[in-house]
Structure formats: structure tokens, C-alpha cells
Structure 1
Amino acid sequence: MKQDFNANYWQQRYQNKQTGWDTQSITTPLKTYFDQLTNKELRILIPGCGNAYEAEYLFEQGFTHVYVADVAPAPLEHFAGRVPDFPKDHLLLQNFFDLKGEYDLIIEQTFFCALDPDLRAAYARKCAVLLVSGGKLVGLLFDTTFTQDGPPFGGSADEYKKYFEPYFKFIHFERAYNSITPRQGRELFINLQKK
């Protein structure tokens, strides 16, 4: 029987501290990207946010319209405790595919690889729906295969392109040069603009 990666599954992973993807801080490629952003009014969504180190960093830098979404309450509760001044109404306990709203920027950091691969085309489509015209999807995708059953689920640049091409222009879609050491040579940095 196929595993259902639902809220209960992820909540148990957090409760059992089975969070091997958790880097304990923002990763270098996203920090480098964020550091060149000048518009602090951007509406930013981080889906499947986990412990949301990216949101913490952005909030500390003065970005006030950052929203984080996850299906499991544990990471959102942990984040709220760690960043108590973060607006509570920007913590979205929701399935990504049920989200509403319009965003200028969606940040991808280990959410895509956590989804059942059958949902990848739907993910690309939903990102396009949530983004304003000209909005961007920016982040990291694993460009590797994993020997163990997922999540995380791996893949390749060639596979991913077919999901995003219908909705996005490719500004940047290449191997990340500044990945953290455990992920060096295995990540794509993407910067895709909604058509």
C-alpha cells in the first residue's frame, strides 16, 4: 500500500525527531539570494516550511509580509516559540494545495522533495496560481537520486523542467555553487518567473 504523506505522517516525524533534512539554520544559497533583495514589501510564501529558518532570517532582515505554511502543527509551534514576534496570522496550518492568496515570491527549500513525485506537476501549477504576474519561484531542488525510499524523493533537472516550463520563464536553473557541504553537487538553484 502506498504511504500517505499527510499531516499525521509529518507530525509524527517531527515528534519523533526524524528530521534529517533540518539544517538548523538558513542555507547558504537562500541567504545569498535574500541578501540581494531590496524590496521589503514583497509578499513571500514558504510552503512546507518545517522549522522555517528562511522565514526567521527574512523577518530579522525587516521583511514583514512573510507567510509560512505546513500541514503539521509541530514545526509551526516550534517556530512561533523561537520567533515570538512573528505575526501569528502568517503561520498557516494548511495543505499547500488548499492555500489561497497572491504572492510575489515563493521559496522552495526541501518541500518539493517531500511531496509524492506524482504531485510534482500539480506543485508547479499551484505555485503559478499563487504567484502574481511576474512573481518568482526561487529555491533549491535535489538533483540526485536517493538509495533509500523517500521522502526525500530525488530527481533530475531534465525531469523538473517539464513540470515548470508551462508556467515559468527560467531565469536560473543550474547546479548550486554554494550548497552546504552535505548537499554539495546535489542541488539545483532555481529562479523561475511566472509567465
Structure 2
Amino acid sequence: MPEVNWEKRWKTKETQWDLGGVTPVLTKEVDGYVKRGREVGDALVPGCGAAYDVAFLAERSRTVTAIDLAPSAVKLAREMCRTRKNANIVLGNFFEHDFGKKFDFVFDYTFFCAIQPELRPAWGSKVSSLLSPGGRLLTLVFPIDEDNAFNPDANGPPFPVSVAAYEKVLSPHGLVRVSTERSEASVSPRRDRELVVWWEKQKQNL
């Protein structure tokens, strides 16, 4: 299956996944996280796109780093975060970039489902390597399709996913699932195919 030209998608505005604002589930989940006494700390957003979520996280975290490989997306992201001194927008490939630090919080939405399925093990390894022990990963699992989540011939992006598809590539690297639920904050067209799943990096691999 040919790679997607993400830069072309952004230039031609073929960005149907872009909600045009902060992801409502992220707002709800992070605000609840903070109210429970947790600190977001240093945050990471792979595949940040126009960075609405990054700008929001900059208000709740110590620092937030975001990365995208499409120059047009990064330009929009830097403009979105121009007043957020604690936000760093990187132009680069998530799998190849050396971030030079660990993170306390990682947010993944429409990134796991956008990468070629054969890259999922590398995604799991990379995310784990970037999370500090005890760090949290928040995934919005979408679009859920249990029958095709492991189908190598499934069409995409977005490629069909499932919680099990995430677990398969995260659990070998010491990430355990903390909670799984539907959210009323999910945007209505996605609500029936989306789950909110929190993961935690174990302080030592079991």
C-alpha cells in the first residue's frame, strides 16, 4: 500500500480528520486528570497537525512537544502556539526524531490509525521509550473495527483499530491498560467507534 503524501493533504486541505479545534475528550480527560491530583508534566503529541490540542496542553503542562512530518501542518501548528512559550513544534518523523528527553504524558489520536499497520510495533516501542516510568499515555482508539483491526489488507488511512491492536504493541514494553470507556465528549460522528483508553508505563517491566 503506497505511503500517504501528508504534505499534499495539508496543502489541498484534504484533512477530514481535523476537528478544527481542541478535541473535546482531551479537555475532559486532562481536566479530570489534574483534578485527581496528577500533573501532566512534560507532554508529547505525535502527529500534531494544526496543534489545537497542543495549545490546550500548553496551558495544563510544564512543557509540550509536538511533531509532524508535513511542513504545512507544522507552519499552522507554530502559528497556533506562537504565544505558548512552553510549546515546541518539531518538523520531523516521529519514528526517527531524537527528542532528547522523556515525557510524563503522551496523547495519541488519529496518529496510530494513520500510520501503516506494519509500523505499529515500532510505534509501541517508541512510545514506551519516550515515556518516563509511571508516565501516562492517553489514546482515543478510533476507528474501532474488531473484524479488520489485524487485517493486513484493510484500507486506510484511517486504518481500522481496536483496543487489542494497541495492547499487542504496548504490553511487551511495560505499558498496562488503566481504564477503557466511552465518552459523551466524543464528537458525535465518531462516538460509536471510539474508546478512551489510559495506559501507564510500569516503573519496571514485569
Give the TM-score, by structure 2 length. 0.83
Match of 1:68 in 2: 66
Deviations 1:66-112 (A, max 9, x none): 11100111111112223321349711111111233211111011111
Number of residues of Structure 1 aligned to a counterpart in Structure 2: 189
The alignment yields a C-alpha RMSD, in angstroms, of 2.1
Q: TM-score, normalised on structure 1?
A: 0.87
Q: Which runs of 5+ in 1 are unaligned?
A: none
Query: Residue by residue, what CA displacement relative to the aligned partner does 1:135-183 show, whole Å, maximum 9, x if unpaired?
Result: 111120114249x831111122233321222121110133444311010
Question: Is 1:16 the equivalent of 2:21?
Answer: no
**Residues 80 and 86, structure 1, Cα contact 8 Å, conserved in 2:** no
Q: Please give the secondary structure, in 2, of the residue aligned with 1:25.
A: coil
Residue 72 to residue 137, structure 1, CA distance change in 2 (3 Å): same
Partner Cα separation in structure 2 for residue 103 and residue 87 of structure 1:
18
- Residue 190 of structure 2 corresponds to 183
Deviates more, 1:98-107 or 1:110-119: 98-107
- Equivalent residue number for residue 44 of structure 1: 43
Aligned residues of 2:77 and 2:89 also touching (Cα < 8 A)? no
Equivalent position of 2:151 in the other structure: none
* CA–CA separation in structure 2 for the residues paired with 1:160 and 1:47: 15
Report the Cα distance in structure 2 between the residues aligned to 1:83 and 1:4, rounded to whole angstroms. Answer: 28
Secondary structure class of the residue paired with 2:95: helix
Which stretches in structure 2 are left out of the alignment for 5+ residues?
Answer: 149-153
Equivalent residue letter for 1:162: K
Comparing 12-21 and 73-82, the one that deviates more: 73-82
Identity %: 32
